[in-house]
């Protein structure tokens, strides 16, 4: 018997018919002898509609009332699923965040989970074989007001509940059947990964992969919660239920899970050199031309940006031959470009640049893999591959398990395909 958390997102609960399909997935696991807790998002599009209604009601609204409104979507889906499960003869009960309770910080609209006591859910699982159907995205703050967790909040709820009830695995059901070595829309012969480490998944999530959000992966890594990405559209009648052996066999290279398992590096017998190629189009480049090359200039540029909560990623500095002036190039999220320009312009008296250049016609390509720790030449192969395709590298950043480069956006598909082949990731 395994203890499982199953999370279903908006497209998986888009209407009553989809919710019935979710119920069949849950029944499969119950019939297999497993204990189950379920986390649900609101129906697809519902949260956006609630946000729009709130803005129409009052552009300057109380954040506490905003949370009360936008959290209502999950109440509908957990109620409907509980009713359907009960009609199938399954003991199920819906739980709102405050009823468990899921205790959070007081930051309405972007609260962070601080404590969950899973004892009652565990008791009901063990003594009553009850399925807990829990609203994602919400909790209760120190002021006893309802709070919401922000973007990706239901995934975060799922991981936190899994940690609180000591679940064997947290299955994240989406509209894809796992994590791929790259975007299959660009590389049709990309392969689905059977296993991937927390660190690799964290890098992939932060560098453009949309399957899992960074916050949920971080939480899973901290609490050693096994995550799995699988499709809610697989046939629940033919899929096999989870078994205890699915976890004990991981180190032996056996993985019977139908999706992609995200787990501790120690649970993966042999690491690939490179696990995936990601890309991010959400980058903007800023270049400050002819600033003085002297101590303190970098601080004068980047401290104001930090104070404005603008994240700076890649930084390249080119010094002139006489050593007096330099050009400074750096990247920021494209959504922050106008804000970043404004901050820089307001501080030009301290910086002293000749002109400022900005562009969004760029893309960041990243090669990711924990195997880099023990193998040299990964970056060299990347640079050589791009050079052979005539692709110029604008900037470079590295970490222990990834190399990222900035290139012109027009070369995105060429670069991803070439790198995917260069690291032997193509399905053969």
Note the pLDDT tens digit of each residue in 389-401.
999 999 888 888 8
Q: What strands, in cross-sheet order, belong to the sheet with 315-319?
A: 315-319, 325-333, 283-292, 355-359
The per-residue pLDDT for 251 is 54
| Amino acid 323: pLDDT | 65
The whole-number pLDDT of residue 254 equals 56
Residues 369 and 378 sit within 8 Å (Cβ to Cβ): yes
Intervals of the chain under pLDDT 50: none
Query: Which one, of 392, 373, 364, 380, lies nearest residue 422 by Cα?
Result: 380
Cis amide bond preceding 101, omega within 30: yes
pLDDT value, residue 351: 86
The per-residue pLDDT for 242 is 84
Q: What is the 3-state secondary structure (H, E, C) of 129-183?
A: CCEEEEECCEEECCCCCEEECCCCHHHHHHHHHHHHCCCCEEEEEECCCCCECCC
How far is residue 116's CA from residue 164's CA, in Å, rounded to a whole number? Answer: 6
> pTM, whole model, 2 decimals?
0.85
Domains of the chain: 3-176+211-265 (3.40.1160.10), 271-428 (3.30.2130.10)
pLDDT of res. 258: 81
Spatial distance between the Cα atoms of 172 and 253, rounded to a whole number of angstroms:
22
Residue 45 has a CB neighbour count (10 Å cut-off) of 12
The pLDDT value given to residue 252: 56
Quick one: pLDDT at residue 13? 93
């Amino acid at each position: 018997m395994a203890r499982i958390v199953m999370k279903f997102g908006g497209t998986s609960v888009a209407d009553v018919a989809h919710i019935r399909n979710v119920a069949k997935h849950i029944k499969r696991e119950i019939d297999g002898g497993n204990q189950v807790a379920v986390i649900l998002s609101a129906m697809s599009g519902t949260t956006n509609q609630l946000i729009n209604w709130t803005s129409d009601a009052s552009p300057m609204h109380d954040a506490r009332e905003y949370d009360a409104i936008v959290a209502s979507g999950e109440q509908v889906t957990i109620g409907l699923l509980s009713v359907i499960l009960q009609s199938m003869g399954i003991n199920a009960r819906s739980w709102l965040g405050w009823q468990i309770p899921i205790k959070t910080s007081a930051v309405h609209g972007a609260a962070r989970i601080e404590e969950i006591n899973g004892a009652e859910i565990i008791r009901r699982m063990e003594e009553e074989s009850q399925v807990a159907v829990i609203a994602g995205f919400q909790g209760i703050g120190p002021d006893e007001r309802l709070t919401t967790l922000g973007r990706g909040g239901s995934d975060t709820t799922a991981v936190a509940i899994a940690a609180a009830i000591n679940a064997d695995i947290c299955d994240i059901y989406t509209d894809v059947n796992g994590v791929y070595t790259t975007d299959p829309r660009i590389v049709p012969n990309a392969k689905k990964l059977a296993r991937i480490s927390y660190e690799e998944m964290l890098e992939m999530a932060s560098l453009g992969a949309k399957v899992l959000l960074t916050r949920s992966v971080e939480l899973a890594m901290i609490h050693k919660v096994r995550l799995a990405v699988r499709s809610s559209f697989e046939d629940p009648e033919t899929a096999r239920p989870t078994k205890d052996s699915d976890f004990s066999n991981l180190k032996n290279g056996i993985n019977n899970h139908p999706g992609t398992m995200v787990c501790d590096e120690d649970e993966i017998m042999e690491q690939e050199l490179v696990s995936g190629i990601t890309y991010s189009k959400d980058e903007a480049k800023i270049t400050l031309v002819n600033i003085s090359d002297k101590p303190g200039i970098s601080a004068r540029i980047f401290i104001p940006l930090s104070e404005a909560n603008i994240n700076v990623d890649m930084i390249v500095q080119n010094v002139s031959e006489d050593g007096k002036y330099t050009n400074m190039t750096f990247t920021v999220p494209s959504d922050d470009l106008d804000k970043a320009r404004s901050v820089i312009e307001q501080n030009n008296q301290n910086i002293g640049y000749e002109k400022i250049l900005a562009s969004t016609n760029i893309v960041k390509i990243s090669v990711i893999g924990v195997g880099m720790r023990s193998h040299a030449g990964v970056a060299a192969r990347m640079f050589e591959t791009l050079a052979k395709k005539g692709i110029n590298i604008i900037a470079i950043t590295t970490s222990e398990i990834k190399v990222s480069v900035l290139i012109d956006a027009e070369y995105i598909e060429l670069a991803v395909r070439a790198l995917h082949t260069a690291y032997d990731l193509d399905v053969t």
